[in-house]
Amino acid sequence: MRWEVIQVEPGEGIPRRFRWRRRWYPISGIQEIWQDAGEWWAGESPRWFFRVTVNGGLFELAMDPLSRQWWLYRVFD
């Protein structure tokens, strides 16, 4: 789990491309979307997760819907 803050260009409710290590990655497909409740007892808000394919690579992105903050959550090598 990386939790690296990234920049994302959203499409219609789903991400279209994201910028990581000074490079934009266009998203070619979304394999899964799920929600995680987070540590609600500690005041954390729920987050949405997207498992996306990018030019042969597989990534998981996370988003806080309240702050619109995006993270790169996981990179599948």
Partner 1 sequence: MVALSGFRLAMTNGVQLHVHSAFSFLDGASLPEELVQAATAKDIGTMALTDSHRLSGIVTFLKAAQASGLKAIAGATVKLPGEGQLVLLVPDTAHLPQLTRLLTHAHLDHPRGSPQVEWEMLRRWGPGLVALSGGRRGVLDRLIYAGQHAAALDRAQKLQGIFGPDFYLEVGAGWLPGDRSIRAALKSLGQHLGLSLIASSEVRHAEREDFPVYDLMVAIRHGLRVEEPHPDRPLNRELYLKDRDSMRRALGDLGPEALKTADRLAEKLTTPEILGHSRVPRLDPNPETAWQRLQQLVWEGARRRYREHWKAVRPRIGHELGIIRDLGFVDYFLVVEDVARFARQAGIRFAGRGSAADSAVAYCLGITEVDAVARELLFERFLSRERAETPDIDIDFDARRRDEVAQYVIERYGRERVAAVATYQTFRARLAIRQIGRVMGFPARELDVLAKSLPPLSLEDMVQHFDDIPELRVLGLTPASRQILAWAAKVEGRPRHIGTHLGGLVISGDPLELVTPLERSAKGVEICQFDKRDVEALGLLKLDLLSLRTFTAVDMAVRSITETTPAFRYEDIPQEDPAVYRRLQEADSIGVFQLESPAQRALARRLQPDRYEDIVASLALIRPGPIKGNMVTPFVDRRRGREPVEYLHPDLEPILHKTYGVVLFQEQVIAIASALAGFTPGEADQLRRVMTHARSPKEMERLGQQFQLKATARGIAPEVSAAVFAQMVGYASYGFNEAHAAAFADTAYRTTYLLEHYPGPYYTGLLNAQPMGFYPVDLLVTEARRRGINIAPLDINTSGAEYRWIPKRQAIQTGLQAVSGLGADNACQLLAARQEKPFQHPGDVLRRTPLHRDQVALLVRVGAFDAVDPDRERWLESLLGENPLGLVPSQPGVPWTIWQRLFWEYRILGFGQTAQALHPWRETLRNQGFITCQEALAAPPGSVVRVAGVPVRPHRPPTRSGRLMVFYTLLDETGVLDASLDEAGYRRVGHWLFSGDRPGILACSGRMERSTMTTSGMTAWPPRV
Which residues would be at the binding site for partner 1 (CB under 8 A)? 31-37, 39-41, 46, 49
Cβ nearer to partner 1, comparing 19 with 74: 74
Give the CA count within 13 Å in the CB-facing half-sphere of 59: 25
Cβ nearer to partner 1, comparing 46 with 57: 46
Gap between the Cα atoms of 36 and 27, Å rounded: 22
What is the smallest separation between the CB atom of 42 and partner 1, expressed in angstroms?
A: 9
What is the smallest separation between the CB atom of 55 and partner 1, expressed in angstroms?
A: 20
What is the smallest separation between the CB atom of 48 and partner 1, expressed in angstroms?
A: 8
Cβ nearer to partner 1, comparing 25 with 50: 50
| Residues in contact with 50: Cβ distance below 8 Å, sequence separation at least 6, in sequence order | 14, 15, 30, 32, 33, 60, 61, 62, 63
